Amino acid sequence: MARYVLNRLAQAVMLLVIVSAIGFALLHLAPGGPLSQFAASAQMTQEDLDRVSKQLGLDRPLPIQYLDWFGRMLKGDWGKSYRDGEAVLSVISSHLGATLELMTTATIIAVLLGCWIGILGALRRYSLFDSLATVGAMIALSIPTFWFGLVTIYVFSVTLGWLPAGNRETVGDGSFLDLLHHLIAPAMVLALVETAMWGRFMRSSMLEVINQDYIRTARAKGMPEWRILTVHALRNALLPMITVAGLQFPTLLGGALVAETVFTWPGMGRLFLDSIGYRDYPVVMGILMFSATMVLIGSLMADILYAVVDPRIRVS
């Protein structure tokens, strides 16, 4: 088991290095470059730009810049924001709580609702409920998140006035009920696609399990149906969902970026887009590395947990 974990950890570290190198190169080779924000000021002369470039180390070859940045990142120095000079880690941490709040709520909704729909669809295969769930999942997977977010704002905020149109809290309030009121719309939008995916995966996994010989044997022995479903079928059907949970994290991050932008939610997704518009490359790279690390950790934990549950994985 230890060898399996070390191998997966080494692969994750190597992949993280590759992601950081590609992201660093793409950002610095993009039109405008890191100095574009400074060059936008009418007071900046070419001499001033050269001085700023030297102060930031941008006058050195790109590989040297990357190695210097990567070395400082390993020591905990992720650089400073071009916008206000604040440390990148401090900027990210100030927006991390809002993103975790949104993603956690959306995940809980998606897992509970998606698994229930998937299990019921498998037990009532080809029924009206199963057909409606299939059509609904296809529609949910086809609708862009930003479009569903705009429709939600128009219907529930503009037309009905039930929910706030954006932000995380009402200025001057900040109570739990106020935070919950603002959380409903973006969490619902973010959970839409996740619920559809969890439902389809759970239905397929449950269908595969309930058709196994040991399920038929349990029924032939007269075991109660509820015990067959909960003790034997559901426990085994949930095993593949461990891998699905790890793979869902990148999708959840991408959806959070769109949902936070539509609902002006002060999380990392909105910070990422604002930093790109400002050409705040240290913050962009910091968010990229943080997100990549979280995705790899999620995938690694899913693999390890699956190996713990199923010994055949670590043996192979």
In this predicted model, which residue has the larger pLDDT, 245 or 161? 161
In this predicted model, which residue has the larger pLDDT, 48 or 96? 96
Report the percentage of the chain scoring pLDDT > 90.
Answer: 16
311 has pLDDT over 70? no
Using alpha carbons, list the distances in angstroms from residue 35 to 41, 42, 60, 79: 11, 13, 14, 16
Contact present, 281 and 82 (Cβ < 8 Å): yes
104 has pLDDT over 80? yes
What is the predicted pLDDT for the residue at 249?
Answer: 72
The CA distance from 46 to 207, in Å, is 67
The CA distance from 151 to 164, in Å, is 13
* Residue 173's pLDDT band (cuts 50, 70, 90): confident
Residues whose CB is less than 8 angstroms from the CB of residue 107 and which lie 6 or more positions away in sequence, other chains included: 191, 194, 248, 252
Token digits of residue 134: 């299939």
Contact present, 255 and 193 (Cβ < 8 Å): yes
pLDDT digits (tens, 9 = 90+) for 106-165: 989 998 999 899 999 998 888 999 999 999 989 888 888 888 899 999 999 999 889 988
* Helix, strand, coil in percent for the chain, rounding step 5: 80, 0, 20
Global pTM reads 0.81
Contact present, 279 and 34 (Cβ < 8 Å): yes
What is the predicted pLDDT for the residue at 11?
Answer: 84
The angle formed by the CA atoms of residues 134, 140 and 143, to the nearest 5 degrees, is 140
Using alpha carbons, list the distances in angstroms from residue 108 to 137, 189, 192, 237, 269: 18, 13, 12, 19, 20
* Over residues 201-211, mean pLDDT: 88
209 has pLDDT over 70? yes
* Over residues 1-18, mean pLDDT: 81
Burial class (CB in 10 A: 0-12, 13-18, 19+), 115: buried
* Over residues 199-207, mean pLDDT: 89
The CA distance from 115 to 42, in Å, is 57
